[in-house]
Amino acid sequence: MGVNLSYAGRAYPPTQPYAVGREHLHDFALAVGAHHPAHHDADAARALGHPDVIASPTFAVVIAQRAEAQLISDPEAGIDFSRVVHAEERFTHHRPIHAGDELVTVLHVDSITERSGLAMVTTRCEITADDGKVATVVSTLAVRGEDA
């Protein structure tokens, strides 16, 4: 079974809230080499006008991948994760993610195209908090067919 092309246009229900903790932001920043004090020190972040420590720009992928798991683990979607290559990721930040955020994500399957045994699945994660939109993460996965 290949990727289910009828999933294009589907939206999944909102995720459970993800509580962003300082330790999450600190550990992620260390892992990606983001050394700006605003990622590690609440006083430094507040001095820049933020309510608390802020996430490095790619931290949104942590939130997005939790939402994308809904699609990957959906047996009817037909995505064999062992055959997936991450092709592209784009971030649009509407405001910084900061410690104390409670983030909810809605996953949209924007498109699925198939060519020569390769399915390209493009998803969009709309990440929100109580005060509105926080980030949009657009990902494209290349899913190799069994004959590829």
CB distance 67 to 105 below 8 Å: yes
Q: How confident is the model at residue 10 (pLDDT cuts 50, 70, 90)?
A: very high
Lowest mean pLDDT among 26-30, 113-117, 138-142: 113-117
Give the pLDDT score at 32: 96
Mean pLDDT of 62-82: 95
What letter represents residue 102's amino acid?
E
Residue 147: per-residue pLDDT: 64
- Tell me what the pLDDT averaged over the chain comes to: 95
Q: What is the pLDDT of residue 77?
A: 95
pLDDT at 117: 85
Residue range 105-126: average pLDDT?
95
The percent of residues in the chain predicted with pLDDT above 90, rounded, is: 92
Domains (range + CATH), the chain: 5-144 (3.10.129.10)
pLDDT at position 34 over 80? yes
Q: Could you report how far apart the first and last alpha carbons of the chain are, in Å?
A: 13
Whether the CB-CB separation of 141 and 87 falls below 8 Å is answered with yes
3-state helix, strand, coil in the chain (%, to 5): 30, 35, 35
pLDDT of amino acid 1: 61
- Locate 114 and state its tokens: 């198939």
Check residue 116 and give its pLDDT.
87
Query: Residues with Cβ < 8 Å from 57, sequence gap 6 or more?
Result: 91, 93
Please report the DSSP string for 60-88 in residue order.
Answer: HHHHHHHHHHHHHT-GGG---GGGEEEEE
Indicate if the pLDDT at residue 106 is higher than 90.
yes
Which are the contacts of 141, defined by CB distance < 8 A and separation ≥ 6?
Answer: 79, 84, 85, 86, 87, 120, 121, 122, 123
